[in-house]
Amino acid sequence: MPTSPAAEKATPRFSRLPGYLHLSDIQGLAQLAMQGALGVTDLVENVQGNVYKAVAAYFGPLGARFVDGMPGRSGIKAFGITGLVYGSVKGATRLAGGAAGALLSRAKALQGKKTPSRRREAMLAALNGVLGDMLLETANPLAISMSLRHQGQPLALDKAALAQRLTGATGKVLVLIHGLCMNDLQWRPRGASSALHPAHDHGLHLAGELGYTPVYLHYNSGLHTSVNGLQLAGLLEQLLAAWPQPVQELTLLGHSMGGLLARSAVHQATQAGHAWPAQLKRLVFLGTPHHGAPLERVGNWIDAVLDKQAVTRPFAKIGQIRSAGITDLRYGNVLEADWRHAGRFVSVPDARQVLPLPAGVACYAVAATTVAHGAGPLAPVRHALSHKMVGDGLVPLESALGRHEDPHRTLAFAPDQQWIAHGMGHMDLLSRPEVSAQLVRWLGAPASSPPGQRAG
C-alpha cells in the first residue's frame, strides 16, 4: 500500500544520520542535548540572579523584596515574570527532549545491525572520558560498559568461547589498558603510520616476537579510577579462570590512565583474595601520571578562582562538568580512600594513601618528552624543562617515572626498568616502533623486581 506524501514527510529520515551512529547513540545525544540546554538555562538564570542580589544589596531591606534570598536559590523569584520565563524554557526543553527520546525508542526496530566503526568508538570514548560518570548516573545509552575485547568485539569469559575466539592462545596473557577518552582500537591509530614512523600495535608486536596472546580492555574512563580498578580486578579473575590454556604468566600494559587503573586493580584484587595477582609477573606503564597531571591542577585552580565571586560562581559549574576520571588525574588517585573524604572540586593538598608497587612483580616505566635528545650549551636547560615542565605534552617526566619530592611517595622503579623516549608526545607512546622495541627488550628477559619497592 503506497504511503501518502504527508506520511512520508512525517517519517524520520534516519538514513540521513551519520552512517557510523546507532539509533541508541542518537537517543543518548538527544538526552545530552536536553541536559545541556537545561544547564545553559540554569547558568544564565544564576548569573542574572547573582547580579540581582549584588544590586539589591545596595538598597537593603527594600532591595531584598525583589530577589529570592533563599540559600541555594538562583536569586530570581519563581513566581515573578522572569522566573516564569525561565520555568517555561525549562519545561519546553524537557517536553521536547522527552518526545525525541520516545520517538527514537520506537524507531530502533527500523535500524538493522551495524558493524563496529572506529569513528563511533572514538566518539563514545571521548564522551565517556569527559562525562562518563554523568552518563552512567542518568542511564544514558552512550555509557560504556567495561569488557575485555579482541578485534573490537567483547569476549565471553568461558573456556569454550575463548578457545573459539582466541585460536592459538598461549599461556602468556597480555592485557592492554587504554587511557582517558581512548578505546581499545586506538592502540593502532589509523592514519598515524608513515615511512619514518610506522604504526605498531604493541599487542600484536609482542604476540609475534614473544608469544603473548593480547586482549584489550574497553571501559568508561570517566568513572573514578578506583571504581574501574575494582571492575577490572573481577574481570581478570574471570579471564584467567576461563583461559583455554594453562596460564604461565600475566602481563598488564597500561597507557596513561590505564597504568593507574592497573595499579588500582592489583591492590584491590589482592585485598579481595583473588587468585590472579599470583600469576601477574610484569606491569608496564606508558606515560602514566603516577603523581598527577598539571592540566587538571590548573583546571581546579580556575574553578576555585571563579567560585570566589558571586557573579562568576555559576561559571565554575561549567568546569565542574568534567568527570571523576579526570579529577582523579589531579594527583593520580588510584584508591577510593584518595577521594572519598573531599569534594572533587575542592582545592585540597595531595592526601593520597601511600601505595607501594606490588611486591614480586617486575614494574617498568616509560616516560616521553617532546624535547629531542641532544648536546650543546643549552642541553642542561632543555633537560630541566623536559623533566619539570614539558614532558610528553600532558604528563611530566617526573610523574611518569614515579618520582616525587616526598621520598615516601616515590615509586622505586629499578634504573634498568625506566626508559625515556625523546622526541615523542603522549600519544606517540601508543604506536611508535621504538617503544615496541623497548618492550621486547624488557619482556623478553627474565622477570625481576627490585626488593623493597615503595610507595606512590
End-to-end CA distance of the chain: 70
Higher pLDDT among residues 424 and 305, named by residue: 424
Whether 3 maps to a domain, the answer reads: no
Higher pLDDT among residues 403 and 27, named by residue: 403
If asked whether residues 289 and 207 sit together in one domain, one would say yes
> Cβ-count burial of 414 within 10 angstroms (0-12 exposed, 13-18 middle, 19+ buried)?
middle
If asked whether residues 318 and 400 sit together in one domain, one would say yes
The answer to whether the CB of 323 falls within 8 A of the CB of 222 is yes
Residue 345 phi/psi, 5° resolution?
-110, 10
Q: Which tens digits make up the pLDDT trace of 317-372? A: 656 778 899 899 999 999 999 998 777 777 788 889 999 899 999 999 999 998 77
Q: Which tens digits make up the pLDDT trace of 11-55? A: 444 445 566 677 777 777 777 676 656 455 554 555 445 554 555
The residue among 91, 112, 133 that closes a domain is: 112
Residue 190, all three cell numbers = 589509523
Distance (Å) of CA 403 to CA 98, 133, 218, 408: 51, 30, 29, 10
Give the separation between CA 92 and CA 454, rounded to whole angstroms. Answer: 57
The residue among 112, 127, 151 that closes a domain is: 112
Alpha helices in 65-220 (DSSP H): 81-107, 118-137, 159-165, 202-210
Tell which residue, 241, 448, 242, 37, has the closest CA to residue 29.
37
If asked whether residues 403 and 386 sit together in one domain, one would say yes
Give the separation between CA 355 and CA 358, rounded to whole angstroms. Answer: 9
If asked whether residues 138 and 48 sit together in one domain, one would say no
What is the residue range of 327's domain? 115-456
* Spatial CB neighbours of 36, under 8 Å, sequence gap ≥ 6: none
The pLDDT score that the predictor gives to residue 446 is 83
Whether 240 maps to a domain, the answer reads: yes
Whether 62 maps to a domain, the answer reads: yes
Task: Report the predicted TM-score, pTM, of the whole model to 2 decimal places.
Answer: 0.78
If asked whether residues 153 and 293 sit together in one domain, one would say yes
If asked whether residues 160 and 213 sit together in one domain, one would say yes
Tell which residue, 202, 206, 217, has the closest CA to residue 170.
206
The residue among 57, 85, 112 that closes a domain is: 112
Q: Which tens digits make up the pLDDT trace of 99-119? A: 455 555 555 544 555 566 888
Whether 2 maps to a domain, the answer reads: no
If asked whether residues 284 and 391 sit together in one domain, one would say yes
If asked whether residues 393 and 309 sit together in one domain, one would say yes
Q: Is the pLDDT of residue 303 over 70?
A: no
If asked whether residues 25 and 67 sit together in one domain, one would say yes
Q: Residues of 281-304 as b/e, b for ≥16 C-beta within 10 angstroms? A: bbbbbbbbbbbbbbebeebbeebe
Which of 164-168, 322-326, 396-400 shows the lowest per-residue confidence on average (mean pLDDT)? Answer: 322-326
Beta-bridge partners for 249: 172
Whether 314 maps to a domain, the answer reads: yes
Q: Which CATH number characterizes residue 309's domain?
A: 3.40.50.1820
Residue 52, all three cell numbers = 540581582
If asked whether residues 73 and 120 sit together in one domain, one would say no
If asked whether residues 101 and 122 sit together in one domain, one would say no
Whether 6 maps to a domain, the answer reads: no
Give the separation between CA 355 and CA 409, rounded to whole angstroms. Answer: 8
Give the separation between CA 104 and CA 102, rounded to whole angstroms. Answer: 6
Whether 277 maps to a domain, the answer reads: yes
Alpha helices in 108-249 (DSSP H): 118-137, 159-165, 202-210, 225-242
**Could you give the number of structural domains in the chain?**
2
Please give the mean pLDDT across all residues of the chain.
Answer: 78
If asked whether residues 129 and 55 sit together in one domain, one would say no
Residue 61, all three cell numbers = 531591606
Whether 12 maps to a domain, the answer reads: no
Higher pLDDT among residues 408 and 100, named by residue: 408
* DSSP code at position 340: T
